[in-house]
Structure 1
Amino acid sequence: MDLLLLGKVLWRKAWILIAIPVVAAFAAYLFTMNSELTYKATSQISTGFTINDQVHLTDEKFNLRDADMRFSNLLNQMNSSIATNLLSYKLLLHDLNPLEVPFHRPDPNKFSSNAQEKERVRTILKQRLDSIRPLTSTDVDYPLVKKYLEGYAYGYSNVKDALAIERIKNTDYIQVDFSSDKPNLSAYAANAFTEEFIRYYSTARTSRTGESVDFLKQVVDEKKAERDSKLEMLQMFKSSNNVLDVQGESGAKMAQLSGLESQRDLSRSNINRYELMIQRLTEDIKYASSPVTNGGNQRIFELREKINRLNERYITGGSTNQRLLDSLNILRQQLGEQTDMVNRMGSTLGTGVTVADLKQQLKDAQINLQVERTNLSAIESKIREVQYNISGYASKEARLATIQKEADLALQEYSAAVEKYNEAKNRLAETNTLRVVLAAVPPLNPETSTRVLIIALSGITSFTLCLFVIIGLELIDGSVRTPDKFKSSVGLPLAGSVNRIDNRNFNIRSYFNQQNGNEETEMFKSLLRKLRHEIESLNAKVILFTSPKRKDGKTFLMFSLSYVLSLINKRVLIIDTNFKNNSLSQILGRNQSDLKVLDSKRLKMLTSAEGQTREAQPEFDQESSYDLINPTKYKNIYIVGNSGGGHESPAEILSGRDFSNLISVLADSFDYILLEGAALNDYSDTKELVKYADKVVAVFSAETSIKQLDRESIYYLKSLGKKFGGAILNRVDTKNLKL
């Protein structure tokens, strides 16, 4: 699209681009007239996720990815419904307190209450805040509390919309903003939210971590007692038998006995673990708060089954297969690690396992304990058998080695339990790292009003939309519209343009006789006179008018042009050669019952020299040519009509009739002879009439777009060369002529 043309179009429609944004801005002004001032108070919380000055018992390094995840989890918790509900309860309690000045007062026309109801609501809210448990829709007191929350404008949606929580970028701080219509309310709400959330966060984490610490403390005490017992047994054995050192082994039987005793120790350790696990699961079922993974128990069960199978093969084979013994030791080590992992996971996982899951785990642990006890009985039976067989060997040395091994194992288990216990205590000490670093204070000034921004935005948005709509309509509009666009898209020389007028009840005499007509009328007359000048400049008497499409305005232009030519005493003869649509004949031959038409045939009988008669071809002689002429009610304008509605082409209708002679004869009596051809896109009439004309003038409508058939017709007009007298752009919008 021509940018200059687009700019002119926008300039012409500038009133739209101005009026609509002004109306939109005024509407925004009316809508925001009653908007209230907003006060925003801000408080900040330090999380300790990236910076922590507390003493650590473990060397824990900072991990940026873990810190980001912890921030995301914390923000999700702060934006949860329970945190918002706690704030709603806190605000409502403040307004229901008779010793405090309420921030909100309910509308008495929509809300009714009494002292007993208020006291009931206060009691419910205090209980819920103390226990950190929000109301649910299934609670009996839910409708009553909801009534007061909605009445005092502290409902969930009201508080949630006023609350904004975000992390301050590249810092350890979380910022809490609360916006309301009162500065004191904003400050109180921001501080109340941070206070209640820190309390909720601390309670939740302490509850989960404290249970793990208690359990591990119990395990440490048990392992310490076991260690002391083993060390005391070792000391007593050494003292009573005067054994200072144990060296070597007592053959294959002693090695077998040592392996069996190792299995027995491991089995006892497993039994101890299962007993502790059953005890712990029993407590978990009671309090229903700590999950344990089923996958670990399944893995322990599979390991025990493998150990039992390999142990039977080892004992059956005489307890001499070292490879089987190594495999047994590896599996026992994996069993110990898996058991430790299950215990650790059971002590550190948060709430999420149902009571049914815990009961299933308890059942599995009881089964595993029974299996392990059976296994221990088998091992002890085998040990007794081996001991009987090797009673003659150095039993004291073997016994000392066994007791020493048991003491070492007890010491290792005790050290591992102490390490886990210390780690849990350190985690408990770090449970609540949240603290308020900036308390909210009542803001002195309200927030910058967005009213001006809304008004400006509405004006700018409406202006932009109007601009895009106008440009879009211009881009999708494929019509010719203006002379400049016609020249660029069609490429034919333009003889003139005629603006669009209302041709209903059109009277051309009144148009030219009136003085100081409207702008559209005066421009129409001026453009017709310019077109008359161009026609006179062609120096042609016989002019054929055609158009690519039907209803482009040929008939109207030919009549109007004939009239302006008659005003300068030019004799104009219009020959209506548009046999498909005889509009000219109907307009100019109106009220003529005996209108002579071109497509009537007069036959003249000729006699041959031999006296025989034959039918001659119809032809025009000078006398019959003038008989075809019909005068009109307009001075100096004459017409040769046709009957219309014919399906034959001009070549078929005028076949055998000397139409060229008719034109030549009539040209002597008239200044201009105007012919009309049917639409080029649909008929061949124009191409058949071109040979009779001196010049061809094409009429285009500014309201239509150029299609493929139009381009073929344009190509034909260009092929006429000098015989083409130019194009006339009809029905141009008067406003477009000013662009």
Structure 2
Amino acid sequence: MELGKFFKLLWKHKNLLIIIPLVTIIVSFFLVKNLADKYVSSAQIATGIVDQSRHLLDADPTAASSKEQSIAHEFSNLIEIMKLKTLINQISYQLILHDLKSKVPFKPESKLFKSMNPNARQHAIEVFSKKFETLQPLSYYNKDEEGLNELLRSMKYDERSLRKDLLIVRDEDSDFITVSYESENPQLSAFIVNVLCKQFINYYTTTIRQNETDAVNYLANLLEEKRKALNTKTSQLQDYKIQNGILNLDEQSKSIFDQIMVYNDRKQQAERDVASYNGAIKIIDSKFEPGERKYIEASMVKYNQDVINSQDQLHILTDRYVRSNFNPRLKPAIDSLSNKLTAQINQTSDKYIVNPLVGKDDLVKQKLTLEVTRDLAKYSIRAITGALNDLNAKFNRLVPFDATVKTFNFDIDIASKEYLDVLNRYNQTNLQSTFSIKLRQVEPATPDAAEPSKKMLLIILSGVIAFAFCVIVLFGIFFFDDTIKEPADLVKRTDLPLLGHLNTVMGSLDLRKLWDVEHRDKMRLFKELIRSIRFEVDQELRGEKVLGITSLANHEGKTVLAISLAYSYSMINKKVLLIDGNFDNPTISNTVQPKVYLENYFKNNPDNYEQLNNTTNVMGNHGGDVTLLEISDENFIRSKFNELKTKYDIIIIETPPLSSLNKSKEWLLFANKVVSVYEANKGIAKWQKDDVKYLKSLNGKFAGWVLNKTDPKKDRF
């Protein structure tokens, strides 16, 4: 629905949508017909970034993905370098030097250029040549160089002018960068592109080569420092080992630790043997009576001496065996002495040293053997404990050596890693510097033919833009337009019913001629709309007779509607009374010049004998700052209206607008139905919303709206 309204608005302004684009096209034609042809020259630079044939030695397959990510950054960096002010200035210098030296300049000479004498030209050539060789810009704070800057600007050779038509892009995903320039001279376009490519390659090669040389030299010096630091740490460790007699701390500490574990095992075994031998001896002793033990001890004294001597020798030999770390060479001597000791013990058992009445000689032999073995185990424990103490002392002495050596080794590891890292970076940088990117201009710029003319395109584009601009402006007007143009808009905005609408009628309205003869379409439409409103009013009144006509503001058409309705009712043989209740603007009274005035008729005065005759159909007012209830009280006025109802079929009251506050509302107290006139193409102001609420508060008393001054083209029969 809203879109349809917008198209109607466009159709309404169709002449505007045709004339403005047409004028724009005509103006554009005269503006572009004398435009000079444009010439574009292009050149290509191979970067070697994507070309794998130039990266055979420095290629890193593992870094393929990361390299792909950096390619775009490398191309972007190259393009930005080409756009540097330093390189654009080089083009400016070359262009102005060409025009100063050549008889055929690229562009027509400017006024400033023509005003230069030979000395000034020679001076300009010297300054521009020096600036070109040293890659320096002209200073704006030097009067002489500022004048040369002004010369460049006058010839459109300055940086800002050159950048406008300069285009530098990468050719999709290729290895090439395309440089192009557009101008009115094909020689100029080719010259600018070739100079830029040449200066860019020289600048980039020089800068990159210097950076690579500095990087390689720095890494070489750093590598030498790291090598010296590593050698120093290694020499300190060697000197410390020599001074403290250290061969291999790990092997030495491991050997001592293994010996300690072996001695601990043997000590634990000996302690277990001593405990078991003591238990066995205790059990044997328990089997002898006290008297027998005395006999045994007395008889064995002379034999025990030999056993004790042999035991002492065995103790000495066992101690040597333990201290020699269980040297197998001493094992045969220990076994021989043990056999001798066993024989001596057996000899003691052969004598009658026990009570011959008791057969316990075997027990005695066992006891003696167990005692000897126990004594050997006890002595071996003492020897093993001494050896353990010596080994622990040696092991503890190695701990501070180990800590110091580990510190040296840690420092050497760090120095070695730093050295290797620097060495790798040095080798990589050295290789990259050898195979770094080498830019080359693979396709020089040449003067080409003129570009296809864009004049027709510009003319058409100007017409399209003008048309689009008009449409946008009309859309803005449509979007922000909150005026009421159609009856449906009024109902939607107020939520109140609608009785009908009236079209706009230009000039004076002669109601007699309107009903007597046929007029043009607008008059005929107006008459039909009045008839429709009359019918709707009859349906609303339902036998009632008083109709009040009001509006939200002045000059919205109350008077026209009131007079038209009154005349329309008279045409169907109704007796009508039209009351002009608008004291502020008594249009009906001034037009008709009535014989009866409501100030006289409604005034509650015993001397008032104002009566209406059968020919009276208009009651006017004298105007002024007065209200209805100031003329008389409500009850009297109501009685007068009852009297009027008996004489007339329909009473139409034109009231003041609702903006006059109580002046209108006092009249509406006596109306059976209220009709409000609203002028089309106006919006409802904020201060009028209260009046709309008042009409809603009338409930069934409000008959509806009449929309006045509508567009007749939108009306339908």
TM-score using structure 1 length: 0.62
Q: 1:701 aligns with which of 679, 704, 712?
A: 679
Q: How does 1:318-717 map to 2 (within 5 A)?
A: 320=400, 322-331=402-411, 334=414, 416=423, 422-446=427-451, 448-486=452-490, 489=493, 494-500=498-504, 508=510, 523-524=522-523, 526-528=525-527, 530-532=529-531, 534-535=533-534, 542-551=545-554, 552-562=556-566, 572-577=576-581, 581=584, 583-584=586-587, 586-588=589-591, 590=593, 597-603=600-606, 624-626=610-612, 637-641=617-621, 645-647=625-627, 649=629, 653-657=633-637, 658-667=639-648, 672-679=650-657, 696-706=674-684, 708-709=689-690, 711-713=692-694, 715=696
Report the Cα offset of residue 164 of structure 1.
0.9
| Contact residue 548 and residue 672 of structure 2 kept, 8 A | no
One-letter identity of the residue aligned with 2:676: A
The offset of 1:84, in angstroms, is 0.8
Q: Aligned letter for 1:48?
A: G
State the one-letter code of the partner of 1:160.
R
Taking a change above 3 Å as real, the CA distance of residues 86 and 202 of structure 1, as seen in their structure-2 partners, is same
Which residue is equivalent to 1:252? 244
Q: 1:543 to 1:457 in 2, by over 3 A?
A: farther
Pairwise CA distance, 1:175: 1.0
Distance across 1 between alignment mates of 2:472 and 2:425: 69
Q: Distance in 1 between matches of 2:712 and 2:668?
A: 32
Q: Per the alignment, do residues 43 and 495 of structure 1 end up closer, same or farther by CA in structure 2, a change over 3 Å counting?
A: same
Per-residue CA deviation, residues 107-158 of structure 1 (Å, 9 max, x unaligned), is: 3576322333333333333343344444444567623542442343322122
Asked if structure 1 preserves the Cα contact closer than 8 Å seen for 2:547 and 2:671, the reply is: yes
SS in 2 for 1:626: coil
Change (3 A) 1:574 1:207: same
Distance 1:685 1:719, change over 3 A: farther
Give the conservation status (yes or no) of the 8 Å contact 1:42–1:439: yes
Mapped pair 1:5 → 2:5 = yes
Aligned CA distance change for structure 1 residues 9 and 101 (closer, same or farther; 3 Å): closer
Unaligned runs of 5+ in 1: 235-245, 257-316, 345-415, 605-617, 632-636
Tell me which amino acid in the other structure corresponds to 1:181: E
- Which structure features the higher share of helix residues? 2
Q: Is the 8 A contact 1:498 1:524 kept in 2?
A: no
Which residues of structure 2 form unaligned runs of 5+?
249-396
Distance in 2 (CA, whole Å) between partners of 1:513 and 1:220 is: 117
Q: Is residue 82–residue 134 contact of structure 1 (8 Å, CA) maintained in 2?
A: yes
Residue 168 of structure 2 corresponds to 165
8 Å Cα contact 1:490/1:714 also seen in 2? no
What displacement does 1:511 show? Answer: 8.9
Match of 1:150 in 2: 153
Tell me: CA distance 1:37–1:653, structure 2 relative to 1, closer, same or farther (3 Å): farther
Contact 1:596 1:641 in 2 (8 A): yes
Shift of 1:81: 0.4
Q: 1:574–1:639: 8 Å Cα contact kept in structure 2? A: yes
**What is the match of residue 261 of structure 2?**
none
Helix, strand or coil at the partner of 1:35: coil
**CA drift at 1:5:** 3.1
Which residue pairs with 2:323 in the alignment? none
Closer/same/farther in 2, CA of residues 422 and 125 from structure 1, 3 Å limit: farther
Following superposition, the deviation at residue 487 of structure 1 comes to 5.1
Identify which range, 178-187 or 688-697, moves more after superposition.
Answer: 688-697
Supply the distance in 2 between the matched residues of 1:223 and 1:594 (Cα, whole angstroms): 122
- After TM superposition, list the pairs within 5 Å mapping 1:248-327 onto structure 2: 252=244, 320=400, 322-327=402-407
Return closer, same or farther for 1:499/1:58 CA change in 2, 3 Å cut-off: closer
Please give the alpha-carbon distance, in whole angstroms, between the structure 1 residues aligned to 2:644 and 2:569. 19
Answer whether contact 1:41 1:443 (CA < 8 A) is retained.
yes
How far apart, in 2, do the equivalents of 1:421 and 1:594 lie? 117
Please say if residues 651 and 688 of structure 1, whose CA atoms lie closer than 8 Å, have aligned partners that are also in contact.
Answer: no
Could you say which structure has the larger radius of gyration?
A: 2
Summarize the alignment of residues 216-231 of structure 1 with structure 2, pairs less than 5 Å apart.
none
> How has the CA–CA distance of structure 1 residues 321 and 24 changed in structure 2, closer, same or farther, with 3 Å as cutoff?
farther
SS at match of 2:116: coil
Q: Do 1:630 and 1:638's aligned partners in 2 also have CA atoms closer than 8 Å?
A: no
Displacement of 1:686 in angstroms is: 7.3
In structure 2, how many angstroms separate the alpha carbons of the residues matched to 1:155 and 1:588?
A: 80
| Partners of 1:663 and 1:221 in 2: CA distance | 126
- What is the CA-CA distance between 1:586 and the residue it aligns to? 4.3
Say whether residues 1:186 and 2:186 are aligned partners.
Answer: no
CA contact (8 A) 2:226 2:415 kept: no
Change in CA separation of 1:719 and 1:324 when aligned onto 2, cut-off 3 Å:
farther
Letter of the structure 2 residue corresponding to residue 18 of structure 1: I
User: How big is each residue's C-alpha offset from its partner over 1:17-69, in whole Å with a ceiling of 9 and x where there is no partner?
Assistant: 22222233333334333322211111111111122433665453541222222
Q: Give the structure 2 partner of residue 308 of structure 1.
A: none
For the 8 Å contact 1:598–1:642, the answer to whether it is kept is: no
Q: Distance in 1 between matches of 2:405 and 2:482?
A: 93
Distance 2:462 2:446 in 1: 34
Contact 2:44 2:444 in 1 (8 A): yes
Q: CA offsets per residue over residues 149-171 of structure 1, 9 Å max, x none?
A: 23433221221212111112211
**Cα 1:533–1:92, aligned 2, differ >3 Å: closer, same or farther?**
closer
Change (3 A) 1:638 1:468: same
Q: Contact 1:702–1:731 (CA<8 Å) still a contact in 2?
A: yes
Aligned length: 551
Q: CA separation in 2, counterparts of 1:137 and 1:696? A: 82
Q: 1:572 to 1:176 in 2, by over 3 A?
A: same
1:19 aligns with 2:19: yes
Distance (Å, rounded) in 1 between the aligned partners of 2:219 and 2:7 = 82
Q: CA deviation at 1:490?
A: 5.2
Instruction: Quickly say closer, same or farther: Cα 1:339–1:114, change in 2 above 3 A.
Output: farther
- Alpha-carbon distance in structure 1 between the residues aligned to 2:200 and 2:569: 95
Match of 1:278 in 2: none
| 2:212 corresponds to which of 209, 212, 228 | 209
What letter matches 2:482 in structure 1?
A: G
Q: Secondary structure at the match of 1:625?
A: coil
Deviates more, 1:537-546 or 1:331-340: 331-340
- Separation in structure 2 between the aligned mates of residue 514 and residue 96 of structure 1, nearest angstrom: 94
Match of 1:355 in 2: none
Q: Which amino acid aligns with 1:702?
A: A
3-state SS in 1 of match to 2:81: helix
Distance apart, 1:85 and its partner CA: 1.0
1:314 is matched with which residue?
none
> Kindly tell me: are residues 545 and 515 of structure 1, through their superposed partners in 2, closer, same or farther at Cα, counting changes over 3 Å?
same
CA separation in 1, counterparts of 2:482 and 2:98?
69
Contact 2:197-2:441 at 8 Å conserved across structures:
yes
* Percent of aligned positions that are identical: 23
Aligned to 1:102: 105
- Alpha-carbon contact 1:698-1:727 (below 8 Å) kept: yes
Q: 1:84 aligns with which of 83, 88, 95?
A: 88
AA aligned opposite 1:641: N
Aligned match of 1:394: none
CA contact (8 A) 1:545 1:674 kept: yes
Distance 1:689 1:221 in 2: 113
1:508–1:560 Cα contact (<8 Å) kept: no
Q: Supply the distance in 2 between the matched residues of 1:204 and 1:655 (Cα, whole angstroms).
A: 108
For residue 709 of structure 2, what is the amino acid of its counterpart? R
Amino acid across the alignment from 1:468: I
The Cα shift of 1:180 comes to 0.7
Separation in structure 2 between the aligned mates of residue 223 and residue 557 of structure 1, nearest angstrom: 108
Mapped partners of 2:466, 2:223: distance in 1: 74
